[in-house]
Structure 1
Amino acid sequence: MFFITILIILLSTKLAGDLSVRAGQPAVVGKLIIGVIIGPALLGWIDNSEMIDELSEIGVLLLMFIAGLETDLDELKRSFKSSMAVATGGILLPFAGGYLVGTWIGMDTPHAIFLGLLLSATSVSISVQSLKELDMMKSRESTTILGAAIIDDIMVVVLLAFVMSIFGGEEVNLALVISKKFLFFIAAGFMIWKGAKWVMKLLAPLRVTESVISAGLIVCFFLAFVAEQLGVAGIIGAFAAGLAISQTSYKEEVEHKLEPIAYAIFVPIFFVSVGFSVSFDGIGDQIGLIAILTIVAILTKLLGSGLGARLTGFSTRSSLGIGSGMVSRGEVALIIATIGLESGLLEQEYFTVLVVVVIFTTLVTPFLLKMVFRDKEVIRGSAEGK
């Protein structure tokens, strides 16, 4: 059964991606939608499983690793101010929007605060693929989005720890949480500075098949592991690993050999698995709330992050593009929702609603990016002129 599952996923994602491109949209749109169609929500051909979850996690790690390989580290440093503004705006406005909706539907203060925090999360894995398809990965906008996503992840995790320590019914050592984040950046910084070069020089010359790509993947999974152990999303560790390898002479070979591995099987499984989380059972009475939360989630992140970009020198269209790239909540918000459910800060009746909202924000992101960046040469020209 496992082999037929993989067969269906690969065939359906490739066909759906092709149809999406023919319709003038990024291929990732079709891959996300086909996950909803063949998953439990509609046809039920494939049920989510632990194996699919594990393979999809490898897919998103490889996707972010490739993004790191293609990112200009110097440009990332230059974009720090813009990234900080984008991340801050992309947290403040969604937090306020989520809190207000929470109080409006009758949540008490702790639950409304948690809802605002959940809507503040960002996951740019889908945005990365859309930007790659639009040939925008080396642009200033893309670099700002990636930098903002890292900052957003750290800020939201620290805020989550703070909220859990006050309302979650358990003691959380904030100093320890912040220290662990600091340790991750030390580890990532060391790997970017010297560590990755040492690992590659040690392992790449081994007289075994594909030693270079294996060495690169060792760095990728090592930093993803370190990130998760220190309370940072594994995708941030994978992205940092890509940055580290990009500073070595092995960058081109790793990238050239990794893309066929990633895009042949692991990344398609990740895209289609996003749709597997959608379920339409028992949400008939919640359609209004889903619509409101989805609109709030999209607009607050689009406007909040976009305003941060605009205030730091981007043109209006570029700012909207950056805001669009921050809209997807992805797996980061799903993890936070699960934590909220376990701690009592998110009631079961709202869990499914928020899962659907997260999926909708993920589905709409490629459409928004395509709309804004359809004339990317004009966008690049305006950005370079700033």
Structure 2
Amino acid sequence: MTAIVEVLTQLLIIFVAAKLGGELFLRLRQPAVIGEILVGIVIGPFALGLIGLPGHELLALFHEDSDAAREGLTLALETVAELGVIVLLFFVGLETRLSDLLRVGLRSLLVAILGVVGPFVGGTLLMLALGYPSIESIFMGTVLVATSVGITARVLRDVGALDSREARIILGAAVFDDIIGLLVLTVVSGIAVSGELQLTRVLWISVLALGFTAVVGGLGAFAVRRLFPPLVERLQIEYAPLVVALALMLALASLAAAIGLAPIVGAFLAGMALAEVRDRYDLHEQALPLYTFLVPFFFVVTGARVDPQLFLRSETLWLALAVTAVAVLTKALGAALGTLGFPFRSMAIVGFGMVPRGEVGLIVASIGLSLGVVERPLFSVAVVMSMLTTLLTPPLLVWLLRPLVAARRAALASSVPVTRSEER
């Protein structure tokens, strides 16, 4: 078996396992995403080892260097997974018009700010109280700042709540959260490396991140309305609208990554711009097979990163549970306070919708490890926290969203507009 066949076989295992896990949880009346994450834990390299471990062909390709072979395989699997979450946020963007997002813009910004300040301060103070050094404590606070909106977006889409006010606030806050989180990470990393605050670098990244979001988010819809129809109508290739849309998605995802933002921010902004012509060119339906194929890879690979043995080590587990409790409470309360005045259930949806750290928390923790700021035991704590917040959020969100979705369906069935009291 050649190396490429080995990689393809693992992709096959991931895809089939994702669909089986998703089917099982749908039958249990739970979101498919929970099954996909859990099945990733089961088949991952720390459990059954069906994926993530190189075989003979890959080892031969890397001259029997097992570390290099594993890194190469991980890169291949995570590239497909990253493409999956990019497609997911592109779809979410397609169902979100700029006008809808602007209506909750100030709320989203407030949710993002409070959802960053709370975890950063709470995480830092917890670590300092436990006797950890200042820079290590600050970096763990930075890990808690992260939000992985891919998990929440999938749940919102699965239950049919993407058009709700709460969903728009969460999505808008996620964009602001990513920018603020990037700036916090830049500041803390700069202090860790040089021992001082690099103000010029922080200002430059701020201008790039805010400029990119403002230009693409503000002018994207206008540009698409003016330029997209004449361009695709001149092209003779099959599915020209979809081809151009996917090219724009990848271009903005790459540009966002080059600036230092998460690629999903660019993908979301691309989808939001294309929402203006979505119905005219049936983009949603055309891209649905791509969504069905690619998105599950992200959740299975996310689950495969979890080492179940981490939950069995008491010294890691107790600290991880304390950090997770702070991560959940500070993010949920901070984000919920940004929606003060809303019904309690709506505040809870927004608050807990911002809780998952997922792969974003892992990335920040990995940066701390590579800089030598975070030691391996604390990295394990960050991994457990990221995975627990990822696993806890979907069932909790489904429970919170169920009355809201039921009220909307009843209103549609009776053609009576739904009120906030009904959503509550």
TM-score relative to the length of structure 1: 0.93
Give the AA of the match of 2:22.
Answer: G
Seq. identity, %: 36
1:159 is matched with 184
| 1:151-300 map, 5 Å | 151-169=176-194, 172=198, 173-188=201-216, 189-194=218-223, 197-199=226-228, 201-203=230-232, 205-248=234-277, 252-263=281-292, 265-281=293-309, 284=313, 285-300=315-330
Question: CA 1:186 to 1:147, structure 2 compared with 1: closer, same or farther past 3 Å?
Answer: closer
Verify: 1:382 aligned to 2:420, yes or no: yes
Equivalent position to 1:138, from 126, 145, 163: 163
Total equivalences in the alignment: 383
Which one of the candidate residues 301, 307, 310 is aligned to 2:337? 307
Partner of 2:360: 332
Aligned equivalents of 1:254, 1:36: Cα separation in 2? 33
Q: Does 1:368 find its partner at 2:396?
A: yes
Aligned equivalents of 1:205, 1:41: Cα separation in 2: 52
Aligned residue for 2:40?
35
Write the distance in 1 (CA, Å) between the matches of 2:281 and 2:152. Answer: 23
CA distance in 2 between counterparts of 1:45 and 1:232 reads 32
Task: Tell me, yes or no, if the aligned pair for 2:335 and 2:351 is still in contact at 8 Å.
Answer: yes
Amino acid at match of 1:37: V
Normalising by the residue count of structure 2, what TM-score does the alignment of the two structures yield? 0.85
Q: For the Cα contact (< 8 Å) 1:70–1:246, is it kept in 2? A: yes
1:13 and 2:51 matched: no
Q: Residue 196 of structure 1: CA displacement? A: 7.0
Mapped partners of 1:24, 1:385: distance in 2? 21
Deviation at 1:276, TM superposition (A): 1.3
Find 1:71's aligned residue among 71, 75, 96: 96
1:127 Cα deviation after fit: 0.5
Q: How far 1:110 sits from its partner (Å)? A: 1.6
Rg (Cα) greater in structure: 2
How much does 1:207 deviate? Answer: 1.1
Question: What secondary structure sits across from 1:56 in the alignment?
Answer: helix
Query: Is the Cα contact below 8 Å between 1:72 and 1:138 reproduced in 2?
Result: no
Does residue 91 (structure 1) correspond to residue 121 (structure 2)? The answer is: no
SS for the counterpart of 2:402 is coil
Partner AA of 2:380 in structure 1: T
What displacement does 1:6 show? 2.2
Unaligned runs of 5+ in 1: none
**Distance (Å, rounded) in 2 between the aligned partners of 1:71 and 1:269:** 24
- In 1, Cα distance between the equivalents of 2:233 and 2:122? 50
**Cα RMSD over matched residues?**
2.1
2:380 corresponds to 1:342: no
- Post-superposition shift, 1:7? 2.2
- C-alpha separation between the residues in 1 aligned to 2:402 and 2:44? 31
Work out whether residues 182 and 261 of structure 2, in 8 Å CA contact, stay in contact via their aligned partners in 1: yes
Conservation of the 8 A alpha-carbon contact between 2:343 and 2:420:
yes
Counterpart contact for 1:96–1:116, Cα < 8 Å = yes
- Say if 1:197 and 1:248, in contact at 8 Å, map to a contact too: no
| Counterpart residue number, 2:29 | 24
Query: Which structure 2 residues correspond to residues 95-134 of structure 1 after superposition, within 5 A?
Result: 95-134=120-159
Which segment drifts farther, 246-255 or 64-73?
Answer: 246-255
Displacement of 1:334: 1.8
Task: Give SS of 2:189's match.
Answer: helix
**For residues 38-63 of structure 1, what are the alpha-carbon distances to aligned partners after superposition, in whole Å with 9 as ceiling and x for unaligned?**
11222111116211111001000000
SS in 1 for 2:282: helix
5+ residue gaps, structure 2 = 1-5, 53-72, 409-417
Q: Give the whole-Å Cα distance in 1 for the aligned partners of 2:253 and 2:347.
A: 30
SS at match of 2:30: coil
* 1:149 lines up with 2:149 in the alignment: no
